[in-house]
Amino acid sequence: MENSQQNSLEALMHAAQRGDGVAYAELFRQITPLIKGFLYNRLGDGLDNEDIVQEVLFAVHKASHTYNTDRQFKAWMFAIADYKLKDYLRAHYRKAVLTKVDFAEIEHTLTDDVTEDYSPSELLSEILGVLPEKQQQIVRMMKIDGYSAEQVAKEMKMTTSAVKVSAHRAYKLLTLKKQAGEI
């Protein structure tokens, strides 16, 4: 069964490369569950699997010219799936790190005494006080005043990427301070 499927995948791809659109569609129909299984084994159902499945299918289509020998189709396809999965996870974790510090979240985790003694603005000032002056200003502008990174860059005469890096460092520092119980 395994061998017959492998052979048919290879035959379908060869037919598709000779211009057979029906074979090409059939190939994608056959590989979609395989890719779903591959991703489910690695991601579970916690992440948006349908998006990544389509990304892998798209990559297989775009790289169809690189299947050019009589080697196993599945090895070629899963190499692409693995590459796209790593790419997806990199982007996912990068996004997760950047959004990790939420001011609302910090406020909720503070002890009752602190919230009773300070107003929200005083509280934020104290939290931001652990940051260097420049980072304080960037975080204030981006998270409290609602400026975009480009607007902050213009105001502070910095490059946009420098602003983003600085903000990222500030969030990271806040996370560390929070974990250490210092804020």
Partner 1 sequence: MDTEALIARFAAEGAKKPLPHPLAIAGKWLALLAVYFVVMTLVTGFRSDIATKWAQPFYLMELAGMLATAITAAIAASFLALPDVGGRSWLKFVPLIPIMIYGILLMESIASGNAMPLIECIQMQRYDCLLTIIFFSIAPAIFMFITIQHAAPTRCCWAGSMAGLSASSLGYVLLRLIDTDDNPSELIIWHLIPVMLVTMVGMVAGKLYFRNSALA
Helix axes 21-43, 49-62, angle to 10 degrees: 140
Binding to partner 1 (CB under 8 A) within 12-31 occurs at: 13, 16-17, 19, 21-22, 24-25, 28-29
Q: How many CA atoms lie within 13 A of 38 on its CB side?
A: 21
Of 51 and 150, which has the nearer Cβ to partner 1? 51
Q: How far is the CB of 167 from partner 1 (least distance, A)?
A: 24
Furthest CA-CA distance within the chain: 75
Q: How far is the CB of 155 from partner 1 (least distance, A)?
A: 31
Binding to partner 1 (CB under 8 A) within 93-152 occurs at: none
Using CB under 8 A, pick the residue from 9, 39, 76, 141 that binds partner 1: 76
- What string marks each residue from 39 to 68 as x (binds partner 1 by CB under 8 A) or -? -----------x--xx--xxx-xxxxxxxx
Is residue 88 a contact residue for partner 1 (CB under 8 A)? no
Is residue 7 a contact residue for partner 1 (CB under 8 A)? no
DSSP 180: T
Binding residues with partner 1: total (CB under 8 A): 36
Residue with tokens 């005469």: 157
What DSSP string runs through 54-80?
A: HHHHHHHHHTGGG--SSS-HHHHHHHH
Q: How far is the CB of 77 from partner 1 (least distance, A)?
A: 8
C-beta separation of 89 from 106 below 8 A = no
Instruction: Identify the CA nearest to 106 among candidates 178, 162, 169.
Output: 178
Using CB under 8 A, pick the residue from 41, 69, 111, 119 that binds partner 1: 69
Is residue 161 a contact residue for partner 1 (CB under 8 A)? no
What DSSP string runs through 108-145?
A: HHS-HHHHHHS-HHHHHHHHHTTS-HHHHHHHIIIIIS
Contact residues for partner 1 (CB under 8 A)?
A: 13, 16-17, 19, 21-22, 24-25, 28-29, 32, 50, 53-54, 57-59, 61-69, 71-72, 75-76, 78-80, 82-84
